[in-house]
Structure 1
Amino acid sequence: MPEGKGTGGSRTRDRDPGLQPERTRLAWRRTTLACAVAASLAGRQTLHSGIDPVSLVVLALVVLVWLAFLALAHHRIRAMHAPRPPALSPRAAAAAVTCTVALATLGAAMLR
């Protein structure tokens, strides 16, 4: 069997990630930018529709969710600089999904 084509540890040991870590870093940055745009639009919507207590609470939650996603993305981007980046943990993946769903839900609440 050729080197690197076997089962077990030899396949992962000889893996050449190529540009995959760079593409992953860029994807995290694009997603963070999209979340920043969503948070900015939520702020604009709050100012445009009039400032009331409910809108301010929703806007504060949007900002908190965005900051949580920003911290998660920053941690992942830094991890991608390693020669062999670790896999995204299930906990981090669940946190990213939760932030995304929360941001979408809060955005819908802003349009009430």
Structure 2
Amino acid sequence: MSGAEPPERGPGPRPERDPGLQPERTRLAWRRTTLSAAVAAVLAVRQALGHGISAASVLTVALTALALLVFLGTAHRRMLSLGAPRPTALSGRAAGVVVGCTVALGVFGLLVVG
């Protein structure tokens, strides 16, 4: 056996996981993403209300705020789950919610600008 090959593992207990800095990097990435989403939402609201208040602008602001709050809630739950010694993977439902909120914020931004 050469020194480059990993040692064989027996059927015994697995060693404790050492996640290193990966959970912290992931938490920081979620924080940067939520900050970007908040800035985009604030700019969209500013643009929507910049031309006067109308029913369309109020609806756009309300939907933007809703999408941002759902996104922030999902991101917060994910950041909390990363504090566990062995964090679980992001569920398909949570990933779908994040993608949906991101797409919704993009669409609302296009509606405001267009």
TM range (shorter): 0.7 to 0.9
* Aligned residue among 20, 23, 32 for 1:21: 23
In the alignment, what sits opposite 2:61?
Answer: 59
Runs of 4+ in 1 over 4 A off after TM superposition: none
Return the TM-score normalized by structure 2: 0.85
Unaligned runs of 5+ in 2: 1-5
Distance 2:46 2:99 in 1: 24
Matched, 1:41 2:46: no
CA RMSD of aligned residues (A): 1.9
Q: CA deviation at 1:68?
A: 0.2
Amino acid at match of 2:109: G
Amino acid at match of 2:59: V
In the alignment, what sits opposite 2:71?
Answer: 69
Query: Residue by residue, what CA displacement relative to the aligned partner does 1:13-64 show, whole Å, maximum 9, x if unpaired?
Result: 5542211100100011111101110111012112212211101101100000
Q: CA deviation at 1:110?
A: 0.8
The 3-state SS of whatever aligns with 1:85 is: coil
Distance 2:84 2:30 in 1: 16
Distance 1:25 1:109 in 2: 31
Amino acid at match of 2:49: L
In the alignment, what sits opposite 1:2?
Answer: 7
Kindly indicate which of the two structures has a greater share of residues assigned to helix. Answer: 1
Task: Pick closer, same or farther for the CA change 1:3–1:63 going to 2, 3 Å.
Answer: farther
Q: CA deviation at 1:3?
A: 5.0
In the alignment, what sits opposite 1:92?
Answer: 94
Distance 1:83 1:14 in 2: 9
Return the TM-score normalized by structure 1: 0.87
Asked whether the 8 Å contact 2:48–2:60 carries over to 1, the reply is no
Aligned length: 107
In the alignment, what sits opposite 2:3?
Answer: none
